[in-house]
């Protein structure tokens, strides 16, 4: 009986470690870090091309929308959080002065899909 318990425990630990290693391979922590060319579809003022930048400093994600003329962050995100393959950024929409969120989800090594406020579809590609 003691041998059966030990075998069960060893199997459980092995499966747990295997599952953890699979998750670590499919959700790299720095996947979203970098510059992304994103297109938002169906916004009230039409489709928009956006450039966003995500940085990691001291283990925390931050970033914002990049001004194409200066290549600097013009509208910083108020918060950035990642959970697995999903990233959520919050920002103040300049036109309406309201808090808005956008979610991005990993599609493959260089592409994301998502939405703004769960209403407007978003597609993006990592810049080179």
pLDDT mean values, one per 10 residues, the chain (128 residues): 49 46 52 97 95 95 94 94 96 89 97 98 96
122 token code pair: 């978003």
Helix boundaries (H) for the chain: 2-26
Q: What is the pLDDT of residue 26?
A: 42
Q: Which one, of 59, 57, 39, 28, lies nearest residue 102 by Cα?
A: 39
What pTM was estimated for this model as a whole?
Answer: 0.75
As separate numbers, helices (DSSP H) first and strands (DSSP E) second, the chain gives: 1, 9
How many domains are contained in the chain?
2
Q: Do 13 and 41 sit in the same domain of this protein?
A: no
Q: What is the pLDDT of residue 10?
A: 44
Q: Do 1 and 45 sit in the same domain of this protein?
A: no
What residues make up the domain containing 73?
34-126
Q: Do 40 and 86 sit in the same domain of this protein?
A: yes
Q: Do 22 and 38 sit in the same domain of this protein?
A: no
């Amino acid at each position: 009986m003691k041998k059966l318990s030990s075998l069960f425990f060893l199997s459980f630990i092995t499966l747990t470690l295997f599952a953890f290693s699979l998750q670590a391979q499919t959700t790299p922590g720095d996947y979203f870090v970098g510059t992304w060319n994103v297109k938002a579809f169906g916004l009230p003022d039409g489709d928009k091309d956006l450039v966003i930048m995500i940085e990691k400093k001291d283990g925390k994600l931050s970033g914002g929308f990049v001004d194409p003329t200066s290549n600097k962050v013009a509208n910083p995100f108020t918060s950035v959080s990642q959970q697995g393959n999903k990233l959520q950024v919050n920002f103040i929409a300049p036109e309406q002065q309201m808090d808005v969120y956008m979610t991005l989800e990993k599609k493959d090594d260089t592409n994301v899909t998502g939405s703004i406020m769960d209403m407007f579809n978003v597609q993006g590609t990592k810049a080179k």
